[in-house]
């Protein structure tokens, strides 16, 4: 897994820096990437062997 960790640095993140209900990458410089060397099932969803990037959609209350 490749992961970049963002730094808050005493800033208000959600609402001001990160808009709600828009797709965002999970790291500060690039999205977190996961590589699987075999097919995996996550929450009843089959992911085939390969590399995947993770994105998020932050909501106002979650």
Record the pTM: 0.59
Asked whether the beta carbons of 26 and 55 are under 8 A apart, the reply is yes
Asked whether the beta carbons of 1 and 33 are under 8 A apart, the reply is yes
In terms of pLDDT, which residue wins out, 15 or 35? 35
Give the pLDDT confidence score for residue 16 in this predicted structure: 59
Give the pLDDT confidence score for residue 43 in this predicted structure: 95
pLDDT at 2 over 60: no
pLDDT at 50 over 90: yes
Average pLDDT over residues 33-59: 93
Give the pLDDT confidence score for residue 31 in this predicted structure: 83
């Amino acid at each position: 897994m490749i992961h970049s960790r963002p730094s808050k640095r005493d800033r208000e993140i959600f609402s001001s820096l990160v808009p709600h209900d828009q797709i965002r990458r999970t790291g500060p410089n690039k999205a977190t990437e996961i590589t699987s060397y075999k097919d995996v099932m996550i929450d009843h969803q089959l992911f085939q062997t390969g590399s995947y990037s993770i994105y998020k959609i932050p909501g106002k209350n979650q």
